[in-house]
Amino acid sequence: MIDFNNLEKCDSVFSKFRGLMFSKRRNLLFDLKKEKWFGAVIHTFFVFFSIKVYWLNSEKEIIDYRTVRPFQVAVPKSRARYIVEISK
């Protein structure tokens, strides 16, 4: 179960673009506003540590998850509404 109270929300276009690039370890929540597949693809370019990524549907059920190492691209198995990035 993911505790949504301990996540930093990325609401602005800049915060969504930046994510964890060139930053310290923290836990992020991205709300994509509707379920998307292509919009839910993430990358860890310029993120210098591994992260756990969870893709959730509109009901906040986990539909996919994995550990993503630095400088990789991760594609979800299906459409997602939320993305949660947890710094390891």
Average pLDDT of the segment spanning 16-39: 91
Q: Which of 68, 33, 71 is nearest to 53 (CA)?
A: 68
- Answer yes or no: are the C-beta atoms of 49 and 88 closer than 8 Å: yes
Average pLDDT of the segment spanning 23-46: 94
Q: Per-residue pLDDT for 34 more than 90?
A: yes
Who has greater pLDDT, 31 or 88? 31
Q: Per-residue pLDDT for 73 more than 90?
A: yes
Q: What's the CA gap between 32 and 50, in Å, rounded?
A: 22
Lowest-confidence range among 19-28, 40-49, 54-63? 19-28
E strand segments, 1-88: 8-10, 28-36, 42-43, 51-56, 62-68, 73-74, 80-87
3-state helix, strand and coil shares in percent for the chain, rounded to the nearest 5: 15, 40, 45
Please state the domain extents for the chain. Answer: 4-87
Average pLDDT of the segment spanning 29-46: 94
